[in-house]
Structure 1
Amino acid sequence: MRRTRSLLRPVLVAASAGLLLVAPGAHPVRAPASALHLSVAERGEEELTEATLTCAPAGGSHPRAAAACETLRQVHGRFGDLPTTGDPCTMEYRPTVGEVTGHWLGEPVRFRHTYENPCLAARESGGVLALAPRPDGPT
């Protein structure tokens, strides 16, 4: 029994020393940040609609930040995989460029796509590029 105790003692001392070294400086692990800059502009026009979007918690100047964050979470931040909303759009041709830069869960994001018009930019991005406030208020 004496031998077992002598082998166990160094293991316990080493384990407790490791806990002492780790415990005081330990910090809770946080999810990497998601901060994006979004813009929509009709090609050839000087007017640019811009917004910022942060997630966890949802915020920024995006008019529907919580919904946009949830949509992005569903596709793991892959802008090319965003779902199309069922919102109706006219079929007018007004080329519109949607651009997103920043970080999603710590990973760099750079997305740029040309849509046929601003309505389709909002619809085909699952609402993420719907940067204009709705007349009936934010939802």
Structure 2
Amino acid sequence: MPSESVSDADLIAAARKVQSRAHVPYSEYRVGAALETADGEVFVGCNLENANYSNSLHAEEVAVAEAVKEGHSELSRIAVSSDRRDGVTPCGMCRQTLAEFCDDDLLVLCDEGEGEAPSEYTLGELLPNAIAEGMLE
């Protein structure tokens, strides 16, 4: 039986909390992500920059990796927050990573700041026509 889902506010709070662990010496732009799996577990990630920019990891990727590492492959929603509370959405690369593990209806919550409701999107809205496994055959 699936666990009870956490509230949107708690998911945003988890994304905000993990931002303090971000390693961002180049952009100084902290991002946190909190990913809820289909069975209600929450995994978090923060961005990790590297002097060789292409080796940097994004918060959403780290959260997905944590969930998959623990045996979860069904995702239900993700909250994304930057330290600027600017409604940041996952970048294209992160959207494609999410698409590997969920359907177009994955709910994406984007932190707009204190007292503001998060912006809500589905992954399908953010990444229409994603590259899928069946396309690579």
On whether the aligned pair clears a TM of 0.5, the verdict is no
Which structure carries more strand by proportion? Answer: 1
Q: Which has the bigger relative contact order, CA under 8 A and spacing at least 6?
A: 1
Quickly name the TM-score band, shorter chain normalised: under 0.3
Taking structure 2 as the reference length, what is the TM-score of the superposition?
0.27
